[in-house]
Amino acid sequence: MLRAVSRSSQCAARAASTAPAGSQKGPNIVLVDSVRTPFVTSGTLFKDMMAVDLQKEALRGLIRKTGVDYKLIDHVICGTVIQECKTSNIAREAALLAGFPDKIPCHTVTLACISSNVAMTEAMGMLSTGYANAVIAGGTELLSDVPIRYNRKARKAMLGIQKAKTPMAKLQIGAEIVKNLLSPELPAVAEFTSGETMGHSGDRLAATFGVSRREQDEFAIRSHTLAEAAARGGKMSDIVPVFVDGKKPVTVKADNGIRVSTLEKLSTLKPAFVKPHGTVTAANASFLTDGASAALIMTEEYALANGFKPKAYLRGYQYVAQDPKDQLLLSPAYVIPKIIEKSGLKLSDIDVFEIHEAFAGQVLANLNALDSDHFCKTFMGRSGKFGRLDMEKINRWGGSLSIGHPFGATGVRLATHAAGRLKEEKGRYAVIAACAAGGHGVGMLIEAYGK
Amino acid sequence: FRVSAMLSRLSQCRVSHLATPFSRHISMSQTLSAGSVAVERKGDVAVLKMNIQGAKENTLNEQLSSDLRSAIEQVEKDDSVKAVVLMSGKPGSFVAGADIGMLKKAKTVEEAAKLSREGQQQFDRLEKLKKPVVAAVMGSCMGGGLELAMACHYRIAVADKKTQMALPEVMLGLLPGAGGTVRLPKLVSVPNALDMMLTGKKVKADKAKKMGLVNQVIQPLGDGLKPASEATHEYLEKVAIDAARDLASGKLKATKEKGFIEKATTALTTNALMLDNVILKMAKDKVMKMSMGNYPAPLKILEVIRTGLVKGHDEGLLHESKAFGELCKRNETAALMGLFNGSTECKKNKFGQGKEVKEIAVIGAGLMGAGIVNVSIDKGYRSVMLDTNEAGVERGVGQITSQLNGRHKKKRLSLLDKERFMSNLVPTTDYADIANSDLVIEAVFEDIGIKHKVIQQIESVVRPGTIIATNTSALPISQIAKGSKNPEQIIGMHYFSPVDKMQLLEIITHEGTSKEALATATAVGLKQGKLVVVVKDCPGFFTVRCLGPMMAEAVRLMQEGVTPAELDKLTKEHGWPVGAATLADEVGIDVAAHVATFLGQSFGERMKGADGLLKEMIDAGFKGRKTGKGIFVYGSGKKGEKKANEDSIKILQKYKLAPKASVSSKSDRQLRIISRFVNEALMCLEEGIIASPSDGDIASVFGLGFPPFWGGPFRFVDLYGADKLVGDMNRYAAEYGIAFKPCNLLVQYAKSGEKFYK
């Protein structure tokens, strides 16, 4: 940390705040700026686009917003989950479409719902090793369209048809193809190893941690209410409008999934996954979303040298993984104490929490877990409970439940909100935490710039 | 030693699974003092929690029955109670069955029938309760426990591994005696009801829901604010209370309106004409084919189900209790119950924990070696499988892979578990890879020279203190141990093939075997899921020593002109799961000859068989199933048909003996075979080779397929009568000499009228 200070006399004055003890070594890393497309309910406004289009919009928007010269950018990393095989390295295709010079290397990463966190932390690694001075990290998801494949038998027959010599053999293969046409393979919605869908696991998790249906519905309403207020208050300044061509061209300027409802209305909904006694419904779960995001990340020295005013420090990160069945969505509980303590901080030092809302019940279950002696002792080897997070510090601009959750793009959105809220709420430290399929999770520590 | 896979297919192999819930509780019924049913109020719902204090599992004993009766009366009278939830206070056990001790107290058929009657009446009362009763099932729900749940109006079950529903009475030689035969066919289809009652098979929650046995399923919760089982148990209670309330208010209906197809199917499968001519007839044919008519319970079950379906609830119950009473007092029931108790005993480790074993090495990747590895990796042991050549290792890996894949396909094993088990496997041809193994089991060819060489090779790489087990079927362990630097670390572990199906493990100690080696081998065997019988060292140990004379007698019968097919029929009808001729082919004629010669040398005249005949068959290449030709000729394919081998019959004819008319009736022939087995078993007890009659019976039934309804050789003597057996054997001895000389113990029991089981 001291190294960073001594590197540039220019930044010495401003970067009087040094990284907290225990966070990573190397240069100070800053989030210069970040953008996202509007997050749009799948099957609506973006339904005819491709994921690469959205990522292109985000990248182009970021360039426009920051005015950064392409020359300064060393690398582009994007995250995505449901892959369109035409654009398997979607980062490259999007960058080219966004007008980036072909000399900038781009690659794509994936880790379910925290894919763009991976893009950001990998960027941090590139900056730390000195490989790069400026990296763009982003992510995209378009769930309006998913690759639905012919089933394996049909595919095998299709691949075999070229090898068939006689007309009879060709006919046989043709018959095999026809036979299998109507039973396509859908992209997996269930955990590969357990076969359980995330919603089902989330419902069980809520039950495990004693989260009632009412609490879940209330939390969902809270999320929508806060998101609506934030949008109205102009807090969503990271959104770049997307022009959608077509018979009726339209410019999409805002998220379209935010709708504040009443408890009475929500309580009439039937459970979506665990029937008939479950508690997770369509209204207290995040919905399928299309959207993309992008962030410009630099070393502090480089940013200042090139005249940028950073938004926040990216101080450190932590990944965790556990049982993909019973603790599929429990990573925030594991990672929050870890990231805070390894940075030499206390729970009370954290002013802002941005926690990914996969399901209302899942967020509340994680909070209950952190407040449970049994859980903290048994699973985290602590002497007792870590403590309850202050609800006032959590997701005050809404969350994935209301804003939406394009898998590959959410991570950058969390970082943006954390940085934005630090500024607005005059806090110093923010922690973001998110869970992901496979029992994974990530935590990141963000520090206000210039505080 | 290799016994055909067919042995395992017979249902008795399942017997021991059920042993736990039943036999464990015999002593407990008396020790109860505190109330076993707690009534908790949750608003207008009364939650009845069954919890027998101090017991791991709930069993329907006198105390629980009477406490349940008063609890039900209490909630019936209480007008503020609108609905009832019936569950267990123990997360791991709903009700594991009726208390077997109560049956033992019933001295006569009538008393046993009365017991059944009382149970039926109690459950009828519960069913007729005006308030909805929800059974919330978590943990084993077997026998009387399932009958209790079926008498409730709505059933919710947890979809975890421990929650299993079954009517296993048939395995004890009984039938469900508390209304089960009448209620089950109403909840599920007749074929499913038959399947459950005739095989005793266990059904998990998801399957039960599909069948119609339960109305609602709950997926288990993980560990969170409290341990997983407690959390799930509380969740179950909460969901059950909600369901009970909704049933009371009419928001929830216990029975769904049946669709046309369902109605038609039910009508079709429950009318007398259809039952008699198709469904029950087919079931009966199958039962007869499987049991050869040796087991009365399945046939009774068919009769009783018919009465319930055709004549209605009350008639069905009457027939059920009457049949139950009759079955209770049958010899077969005593034998099967004895096997339950015996197998429970054989699941206990009486020798301490021994050395901690993390890694096992198995030398030899043949059918047996790979089988041993198979049952080790899926219990969490890292297991090195070593063979001398790549092809051997590959074959072994293939065997294990297809076994695990088969279980995965049948949904008995998740993808993740399957692959995690495979990750425990270390296939190798390099002895250096076994250096860190805690237990090495050699399963190489039965030749003392090779065994010694392998042991020396093992000892050259492993750490000092490593226990070396030898999987031999006959070679004395003391002789094998002579090749070792540390004979106290040498022990015999005799598995039965196919290892993943056969439940028995015969552990053999020689004079110098250390206590630690015995404890370690036993602990590993039990963890591998085996019934462990520990025997002393002697040629053939217990199992093969008993089998030897029996097989010699089988060969003699063939020499006397009994065709192989006749021999098979003869023995199968007598209750052996595999015919004697087929068994010889499965074992391998060469192996059988090797053992026979060896036993003949060791025990002299008593064991002598037709060595020349077997040698000639081996020379002709007729080594049994593995070579495609033995006593029979085998077609290609996995289950290739078998025909008599004309050439081997020619050899048999060369060694032809004249049958002795006085001892050649069908029953004499059957008795000649079984009596030589029994006599040898008694000698083993006499000599202290086995520790108890129960051990001998378990080893005989689970290792060799001794007719289960006889309960093993010792139970056979009790049930058949020692004096009668001595009389028969003396008749045979008059013709054949020493081979049939009743041993001292048998003669003594014949004189005194003493029994092995009191």
Q: What is the ipTM of this complex?
A: 0.90
Q: What is residue A23's predicted lDDT score, i.e. its pLDDT?
A: 53
The CA distance from B218 to the nearest CA of chain A, in Å, is 9
Q: pLDDT digit string (tens) for A212-243? A: 999 999 999 999 999 999 999 999 999 999 99
The answer to whether the Cβ–Cβ distance between B216 and A276 falls below 8 Å is yes
The answer to whether the beta carbons of residues B159 and B232 sit under 8 Å apart is no
Which residue in the set B218, B219, B225 is minimally distant from A210, CB to CB?
Answer: B225
Q: Do the domains A7-147+289-312 and A198-234+315-446 sit in the same CATH topology, yes or no?
A: yes
B337, pLDDT greater than 60? yes
Pairing of strands B359-363, B164-166: unpaired
Chains A and B: how many Cβ contacts under 8 Å? 57
Q: What is the DSSP letter of A130?
A: T
Helix (H) or strand (E) holding B41: strand B37-42
**Nearest C-alpha neighbor of A419 from the set A446, A450, A451:** A446
pTM of the entire structure?
0.89
Mean pLDDT across A163-172:
88
The C-alpha atoms of residue B151 and residue B135 are separated, in whole angstroms, by: 9
* Overall average pLDDT of the B275-297 stretch: 90
**Cα distance between residue A138 and residue A392, in whole Å:** 28
Q: Is B506 labeled as catalytic in the residue annotation?
A: yes
Encode pLDDT of A131-148 as tens digits.
999 999 999 999 999 989
- Lowest pLDDT segment from A169-178, B294-303, B327-336: A169-178
Secondary structure E strands in B523-650: 531-536, 632-634, 642-644
pLDDT above 90: residue B451: yes
Nearest-CB residue to A372 (from B225, B228, B414): B225
pLDDT score, position A16: 42
Q: Write the CB contacts of B495 (distance below 8 Å, at least 6 apart in sequence).
A: B368, B371, B372, B443, B471, B502, B505, B530
Quote the pLDDT of residue B447.
87
Q: B362: how many CB neighbours lie within 10 A of its CB?
A: 29
Which of B154, B156, B216, B221 would you mutate first to test chain A, the one with the most A CBs within 10 A? B221
DSSP string, A44-112: STTTTS-HHHHHHHHHHHHHHHH---GGG--EEEEE-SS--GGGSSHHHHHHHHTT--TTS-EEEE-BT
A contacts of B231 (beta carbons < 8 Å): 207-208
Q: Domain A7-147+289-312's class?
A: alpha beta
Q: How confident is the model at residue B640 (pLDDT cuts 50, 70, 90)?
A: low
Contact call for residues B86 and B134 (beta carbons, < 8 A): yes
Is a pLDDT exceeding 80 seen at residue A1?
A: no
Render pLDDT for B405-433 as a digit per residue (tens, 0 to 9): 999 999 899 999 999 999 999 999 999 99
How many angstroms separate the CA atoms of B317 and B193, rounded? 16
pLDDT (tens digit per residue) in A256-291: 999 999 999 999 999 999 999 999 999 999 999 999
Choose from A212, A326, A378 for mutation: most chain B CBs within 10 A.
A326
Say yes or no to pLDDT of B478 above 50.
yes
Residue ranges of the alpha helices (H) in B292-350? 296-311, 313-328, 331-345
Looking at domain A198-234+315-446, what is its CATH homologous superfamily?
Answer: Thiolase/Chalcone synthase (3.40.47.10)
C-alpha B322/C-alpha B746 separation (Å) is 37
- Measure the CA–CA gap between B443 and B462, rounded to whole angstroms: 17
Question: Active-site positions of A?
Answer: 113, 405, 435
Residue B106 — left, alpha, or beta (φ > 0 → left; ψ -120 to 50 → alpha)?
A: beta
Please check whether residue A73 is in contact with residue A136, taking contact to mean a CB–CB distance below 8 angstroms. yes
Cα A357 to Cα B331: distance, rounded to the nearest angstrom: 66
pLDDT recorded at residue B371: 97
What pLDDT shows up at residue B11? 32
**Is it true that the peptide bond before B498 is cis, omega within 30 degrees of 0?**
yes
Q: Is the pLDDT of residue B477 over 60?
A: yes
CA distance B51 to B84: 17
CA A63, distance to chain mean position in Å, is: 21
Q: Between β-strands B216-218 and B632-634, what pairing exists: parallel, antiparallel or unpaired? A: unpaired
User: Which site among B161, B218, B219, B230 would you substitute to test the A interface, given the most A Cβ atoms closer than 10 Å to its Cβ?
Assistant: B219
- Do residues B714 and B682 touch, judged by C-beta distance below 8 A? yes
Is residue B198 a contact partner of residue B298, using CB atoms and an 8 Å limit? Answer: yes
Strand ranges in A128-276 using DSSP code E only, listed in sequence order: 134-142, 242-244, 250-252
- Say if the Cβ atoms of A365 and B243 lie within 8 Å: no
pLDDT for res B531 = 97
pLDDT given for residue B298 in this prediction: 95
Mean pLDDT to the nearest integer, B175-187: 96
Q: Evaluate whether B672 touches B663 at the Cβ level (below 8 Å).
A: yes
Concatenated DSSP letters of B469-526: EE--SSS-HHHHHTT-S-GGGEEEEEE-BSTTT--EEEEEE-TT--HHHHHHHHHHHH
CB contact under 8 A, A209 and B218: no
Domain chopping of chain A, boundaries: 7-147+289-312, 149-185, 198-234+315-446
| Residue B399: pLDDT band with limits 50, 70, 90 | very high
Distance CA A49, CA A244 (A): 8
DSSP run (H or E) holding A448? strand A440-448
